[in-house]
Amino acid sequence: MKILQVNFEKGWRGGERQTLYCMRAFRQAGHDVTLLAREDQALAQAAANENFEVATRHRPFEQALYLLRHARDFDIVHVQTAGSLTWAALTRPFFGSAQLIFTRRTSLPVSAERQWRTLRKWRQVDLFVAISRMAAAEPRRLGIQPVLIPSAIEAAHINTAHAQQVRNEFAVGGKKILATSAALVSVKDPLTLIRAIARLHVIRQDFIFLHFGAEGDCSDEARRLIQDKGLQQVYQLAGFRQNIEDLYSLFDIFVMASREEALGSSVLDAFLQRIPVVSTNAGGLAELLDDERGYLCDVGDDQAMADALNQVLDHPEQAQLRVQKAWDYVQDQHNIERMSERYLQQFNALTKQPG
């Protein structure tokens, strides 16, 4: 098959990593894979470095021009973001026999004013994929029946020198390292996380908290709250870091405070690197940490989060039992080969090719 992957996002986040995973897996299975991506962005550069054919454009509407000219040259057009789906849906009548696939990676609700427009776009799709039950909830409410294909994760080569550099940068010493990887945006709820760390710091001072992630709409308020709680030496805003997977080896606990999360691929990284996870039960996070694969708290409950963190630190043996469950789960349910098989089975059915 000839497969076009479409992802026009800026930067490098979970969706971009998943796009590259798909590309690698489909090529390894013997298919021709091309990427349409934003010029001078991380995904395009990463794909080019791996010798994929990459078409780049600068402005979002230029995706439509590319699809008008070239979509019919492919068997599959696989769109990885809602923004790109807008342009794919508009140009769908010109795809010829190419099949349009969309993977929904968010669990955000569709507002009433956007509902009709969103549904019209979704109905142009030949195969609608959701990465979790929560990502599938809104499409199902609107009459779409998605196929569930969870995101995948692979073991990364860990640069121990990078990890040691960060340890030295924050003068960790002998303290435990609690950490998160999340932008300072309201949906990730950094304020609840700061309040939880403040509660934990009242009862113990044997840890430091490192918050990795880009700036966002909560940046100023987060900094004020850190100062108000007297956490300047405890809660460190470490900013966005390349190759964040290297740093998981430093963590004693990985924490997520999200209010909405379709899946939470950073939690999969923690599972794979055998790090205990404390998280809210937002969206797909509840699915990931089900069956005691981690420690779940209600969204916005900083007291419960502080209690869970304290429990992990006080009872490491119990935490390791959950870590083992999480590792077994991620190996079985979120490996790249299984994700690829699920997609290709659907692609073959759509194009009537043998499996």
pLDDT tens digit sequence for 67-84: 999 999 999 999 999 999
Identical fold for domains 2-152+335-351 and 160-333, yes or no, is yes
At residue 53, the pLDDT reads: 98
The answer to whether 86 and 62 have CB atoms below 8 angstroms apart is no
Average pLDDT in the 81-89 region? 97
Tell me the domain boundaries of the chain.
2-152+335-351, 160-333
The larger pLDDT score, comparing residue 253 to residue 134, is at 253
CA atoms of 254 and 143, how far apart (whole Å): 37
| Listed residue (254, 220, 232, 244) closest to 14, CA to CA | 244
CATH number of 2-152+335-351: 3.40.50.2000
The answer to whether 295 and 311 have CB atoms below 8 angstroms apart is yes
Average pLDDT in the 140-152 region? 95
At residue 186, the pLDDT reads: 96
At residue 354, the pLDDT reads: 64
pLDDT higher than 80, residue 353? no
To the nearest whole number, what is the mean pLDDT of the chain?
Answer: 95
At residue 265, the pLDDT reads: 84
Q: Angle at CA 260, nearest 5°, toward 256 and 266?
A: 40
**CA distances (Å), 262 to each of 46, 80, 150, 344, in order?**
25, 14, 10, 22
The larger pLDDT score, comparing residue 11 to residue 256, is at 256
At residue 204, the pLDDT reads: 98
CA atoms within 13 A on the CB side of 299: 14
The answer to whether 262 and 285 have CB atoms below 8 angstroms apart is no
At residue 355, the pLDDT reads: 57
Average pLDDT in the 94-121 region? 94
CATH number of 160-333: 3.40.50.2000
CA-only gyration radius of the chain, Å: 21
**CA distances (Å), 312 to each of 170, 274, 275, 302, 321, in order?**
22, 13, 11, 15, 11
pLDDT, tens digit, 9 for 90 and up, residues 293-314: 999 999 999 999 999 999 999 9
pLDDT higher than 90, residue 12? no
CA atoms of 326 and 268, how far apart (whole Å): 9
pLDDT, tens digit, 9 for 90 and up, residues 38-63: 999 999 999 999 999 999 999 999 99
- 76 beta partners: 3, 99
Average pLDDT in the 182-205 region? 97
**In which band, very low, low, confident or very high, does the pLDDT at 141 lie, cut at 50, 70 and 90?**
very high
CA atoms of 322 and 112, how far apart (whole Å): 40
Edge to edge, the sheet with strand 176-181 lists: 235-239, 207-212, 176-181, 253-256, 277-280, 295-297
